[in-house]
Structure 1
Amino acid sequence: MTTTLMDTSSAWDVLEDANLPEGFRVEITDGKIIMTPQGEQQWKVILRAAPQIEQQLAGHGDILSEVMIDFPSSLWGYAPDLAIIAPGSERNKRGRFEWHSLEAVLEIISLSTRDNDFEKKLRMYAECAIPLYVIIDPSGNSCVVHSNPTRTGVYTDQEEIPFGEDLVLPLDGREIVVKTDGFPRSEG
């Protein structure tokens, strides 16, 4: 069976009855199930960024962390480190949000996820027209904000923000500012 970008099945369907180990992040890339343990730096960034975002959303949208999102292909199942859900978005019949509900995705990279975050996820998020994709890189002490997605899998604009400067997320009709000075930094 050939799978296209607009399949109605969810990549997550294959895991419906699976007994997965706790403490591991599970995602599906190119139809392959990938399990990785969450790193300390990743957890610390989420812990510092999520409350800032949630407070500024003030009921105009929502923030999720490592929650399954349905994408328009059975080959891709991502649970972003942080996902900002647009106001008024509704869950599908599976009880999950879909890609078109996302205003922004923030991924904290590690050595084990680097290729997926910089290549595969970047392409998929752009193809799905997710307005903002932010890659947070503790080893590089910076964030890269990708914006203006194209259906060809490219974001036409990118801006690098060093840790210590404010990370500004221009959302539809509002702006979220995340202070990055408390993000864990690489000593290298």
Structure 2
Amino acid sequence: MTPMVMDAPSAWDVLDGISLPRGYRVEITEGKIVMTPQGEYRWKIILCAAPQIEQQLAAHGDILSDVMIDFPSSLYGYAPDLTIIAPGSVRNSRGRFEWHSLEAVLEVVSKSSRDNDFAKKFRLYAECGIPVYVVIDPEDGACTVYRQPTRTGTYGDDTTVPFGQDLVLPLRGRDITVETDGFPKSGDLV
């Protein structure tokens, strides 16, 4: 039996009992429910990156995709594209992980999510102390790795990796390497 921790109210509570349409990504930003159709670039990048990460994690953590995470504000409910959960993390009474369980978050940017991924999520993830935040941008053909979060909502270090080069995720006590040569750039898919 998995131990559970007590939790505070969650932004996701407003969706309890609501049937959501398939094929849409649902998140809560600044108290507003945002639904966006899932994009092909995003899906192909997740399909390429997730198995690479999962294989390297072995028994030292877990990877999730599009799974609700509880953050310390009832105004934000995010289900990151890819989330690396720290080893030994415990689910709360809702059966969800909380922000302090996250070792890394990877978000694939689309035209409709640029403001969220580069500003709002960037700020919230840094304030929450998420050690590694990666923005994968098919339009620019690059991944930006942010490290050293601050309580003021910024990251102290960032590195840009063009598609085609190895993306290194510096986790606690280990690195995960993701080959990006299979990541499609905007315009690659017809």
TM (norm. structure 1) is 0.95
Distance between the aligned counterparts of 1:24 and 1:164, measured in 2?
29
Task: Give the counterpart letter for 1:78 in structure 2.
Answer: Y
Distance between the aligned counterparts of 2:38 and 2:140, measured in 1?
18
1:170-185 equivalent positions in 2, closer than 5 A: 170-185=170-185
Deviation at 1:8, TM superposition (A): 1.9
Indicate the SS of the match to 2:156.
strand
Distance between the aligned counterparts of 2:47 and 2:136, measured in 1?
13
Distance between the aligned counterparts of 1:131 and 1:35, measured in 2?
27
Question: Which residue of structure 1 aligns with residue 72 of structure 2?
Answer: 72
5+ long unaligned stretches in structure 1: 1-6
Task: Give the alignment's Cα RMSD to 1 decimal.
Answer: 1.1
Indicate the SS of the match to 1:157.
strand
CA contact (8 A) 2:41 2:186 kept: no
Question: Which residue of structure 2 aligns with residue 157 of structure 1?
Answer: 157
Task: Give the counterpart letter for 2:11 in structure 1.
Answer: A
Task: Give the counterpart letter for 1:174 in structure 2.
Answer: R
Deviation at 1:59, TM superposition (A): 1.2
Task: Give the counterpart letter for 2:41 in structure 1.
Answer: Q
Question: Which residue of structure 1 aligns with residue 3 of structure 2?
Answer: none
Please give the per-residue CA displacement for 1:128-165, whole angstroms capped at 9, x wherever unaligned. Answer: 00000000000100000000000000001111000000
Task: Give the counterpart letter for 1:35 in structure 2.
Answer: M
Task: Give the counterpart letter for 1:33 in structure 2.
Answer: I
Please give the per-residue CA displacement for 1:47-67, whole angstroms capped at 9, x wherever unaligned. Answer: 000000000001100000000
Distance between the aligned counterparts of 2:125 and 2:88, measured in 1?
20
TM (norm. structure 2) is 0.94
Question: Which residue of structure 2 aligns with residue 98 of structure 1?
Answer: 98
CA contact (8 A) 2:145 2:159 kept: yes
Question: Which residue of structure 2 aligns with residue 34 of structure 1?
Answer: 34
Task: Give the counterpart letter for 2:125 in structure 1.
Answer: Y
The answer on 1:86 being equivalent to 2:89 is: no
Please give the per-residue CA displacement for 1:91-118, whole angstroms capped at 9, x wherever unaligned. Answer: 0000000000000000000000000000
Deviation at 1:186, TM superposition (A): 2.7
Distance between the aligned counterparts of 1:158 and 1:187, measured in 2?
26
Deviation at 1:187, TM superposition (A): 3.8
Deviation at 1:23, TM superposition (A): 0.7
5+ long unaligned stretches in structure 2: 1-6
CA contact (8 A) 2:27 2:35 kept: yes
1:140-155 equivalent positions in 2, closer than 5 A: 140-155=140-155
Task: Give the counterpart letter for 2:147 in structure 1.
Answer: S
Flag as ranges the 4+ runs of structure 1 deviating above 2 A. Answer: none
Q: How many residues align?
A: 182
